[in-house]
Amino acid sequence: MQNGTMSSGSGANDGHAEQSALYQQQLSKIGEVRASLGQLSGKSALYCSNGSVARYLVARNWDVKRATKMLKKTLKWRSEYKPDEIRWDDISDEAATGKIYRSDYFDKSGRSILVMRPACQNTKKAEGQVKYLVYCMENAILNLPPGQDQMVWLIDFAGFTLHNISLHVTKLTADVLQGHYPERLGVAILYNAPRFFENFWKLASPLLEKKTKNKVKFVYSDSPETDKIMEDLFNMDELECAFGGRSPATFNINDYAARMREDDTKMPLFWSPENPALASEPYLMNNHGSQQCSLGLKTEETASDKGEETETTSDKVEETETASDKREETVTAPENSGETKTALGESGEAETDSVKREEIKTGFEKGETETGAEKKEETKTESSTVKLTSSPGEGVASPDKSGSSSDP
């Protein structure tokens, strides 16, 4: 009995020692990234807390060189786009219909919740839509409780139609979120997505990296199986009725505007050197350490996944700048660039989306009559089309090449 107790204690000590050694290795890599970045000042220095650097390392499988490259891009983007300086009055027109808003409750893990209703889209310019999403991301991060660094997306498909689909906006969104908000998304709930959306998902999902796609959950109100996902994630008394909860609360633009203006006053304080919480943001093993091994490879990967590990599309794009990159730079240009349009132009964007919608619509009509085998072939064809026609941007990886991840 005594020997058994000693053996058990020894095993626990060994496990603690291994975890401690892994933690030290990861802290060492965080230090290497800091050294590679050189001397930083102002908001860049505040942004590069231990927790923030760790998220970039996780996104690049603890590869110091690639994580540093990714982080440098974000620092450049933040210095030009100034996401933390966007204020409610800058984007209030985008928010009017409640197409995206931060809920006033959290999930059971304490994560901020962004509610999204794509059917409530009320503007046409992709730049404005992305800017509003960035504002919502920054606001959700501002309101994260201590010890939590991720958020939840609740996407309500009520009223969603083909008219709401835009591959152009989807791509821009994926580029910004995967490239500049790595490891910020905990889970995305797609609630009551219509049947035809599955065909769009086949086209859009290659824009997302494998780890991001794995965070997407399709939930249907008439499925007890997926209902359990909601019950496990949320307090049903707080969750809105629209998502199967028991709260009758609905979006009110005046109430929301008041909340956002109040948060706007907190943002400069959050990014102040006097904010010790940001400057010393801890790196928590329970958030990241369990998914990594000491060599910097994801323990969850299969042998085939590791065998396919290569540079992501975003890294390749860094070496050879394409016309798509230049278009993205225009989209993410700082506010003082005025009414700069993308290289496609406003009419070009509309024409592109129109063509894409027609292609998707044709696919939907075929899908209604084809057999499962034909659908599988269609999926393969559509995926190939995306690979050939979609110009990859920062943070976007081709399907089945998931050696690294830069998901939000």
Q: What confidence tens digit (pLDDT) does each residue in 340-370 have? A: 333 333 334 444 444 444 444 444 444 443 4
Model pLDDT, residue 278: 60
My answer on whether 116 and 64 are in the same domain is no
Strand order of the β-sheet with 151-156 is: 100-102, 112-116, 151-156, 185-191, 216-219
**Do residues 172 and 41 share a domain?**
no
Considering the domain boundaries, does residue 374 fall inside one? no
| pTM (predicted TM-score) | 0.71
Cα gap 344→60, rounded to integer Å? 31
Do 229 and 140 sit in the same domain of this protein? yes
Give the CATH number of the domain where residue 76 resides: 1.10.8
Which domain covers residue 61, as residue numbers?
22-81
Domain C-terminal end among 240, 266, 292 = 266
Q: What residue has token string 């730079």? A: 329
Do 191 and 115 share a structural domain?
yes
185 occurs within a structural domain: yes
CA distance 138 to 134: 6
292: which DSSP letter?
B
Say if 63 falls within a structural domain. Answer: yes
Whether residue 304 is contained in a domain is answered as: no
CATH number of the domain enclosing 159: 3.40.525.10
What per-residue confidence (pLDDT) applies to 185? 95
pLDDT of 392: 28
**In a domain? residue 201:** yes
Instruction: Assess whether 72 and 47 both reside in one domain.
Output: yes
Give me the tens of pLDDT residue by residue for the chain, a chain 408 residues long. Answer: 455 555 556 666 777 888 888 889 999 999 999 999 999 999 999 999 999 999 999 999 999 999 999 999 999 999 999 999 999 999 999 999 999 999 999 999 999 999 999 999 999 999 999 999 999 999 999 999 988 999 999 999 999 988 887 878 888 888 999 999 999 999 999 999 998 888 888 888 887 888 888 899 999 999 988 889 999 999 999 999 999 999 999 999 999 999 999 999 999 999 988 876 665 455 553 444 434 433 333 333 333 333 334 444 444 444 444 444 444 444 444 444 443 333 333 334 444 444 444 444 444 444 443 434 434 444 443 333 333 233 223 333 333 333 344 344
DSSP, collapsed to helix, strand or coil, labels residue 151 as strand
Are the CB atoms for 33 and 56 separated by under 8 Å?
yes
List the structure tokens of 77.
């983007």
Q: Are residues 241 and 215 in the same domain?
A: yes
Instruction: Look up residue 63 and give its amino acid.
Output: D
114 Cα distance to chain centroid: 12
**Pair 162, 261 in one domain:** yes
- Sequence-distant (≥ 6) Cβ neighbours of residue 239 within 8 angstroms: 105, 230, 245, 246, 247
Q: Is 361 contained in some domain? A: no
For 253-276, what is each residue's pLDDT tens digit?
999 999 999 999 999 999 988 876
Q: Is residue 221 part of a domain?
A: yes
Is there a domain that residue 68 lies in?
yes
Are 160 and 192 a contacting pair, CB within 8 Å?
no
Q: Do 71 and 118 belong to one domain?
A: no
Show which of 213, 245, 266 is a domain's final residue: 266
d(CA 266, CA 179): 25
Which of 219, 246, 266 lies at the terminal end of a domain, its last residue? 266
Residues 118 and 190 occupy one common structural domain: yes
Q: How many Cβ atoms are within 10 Å of 400's Cβ, its own excluded?
A: 11
- Residue 289, Cβ density class (10 Å: 0-12 exposed, 13-18 middle, ≥19 buried): middle
CA-based nearest residue to 129, from 120, 357, 158: 120
Please check whether residues 209 and 244 belong to one and the same domain. Answer: yes
Instruction: Provide the number of structural domains found in the chain.
Output: 2
For residue 194, the number of C-alpha atoms closer than 13 Å in the C-beta half-sphere is 14
| Same domain, residue pair 117 and 260 | yes
Q: Tokens in use for 243? A: 């998502």
Q: Are 77 and 209 members of one domain?
A: no
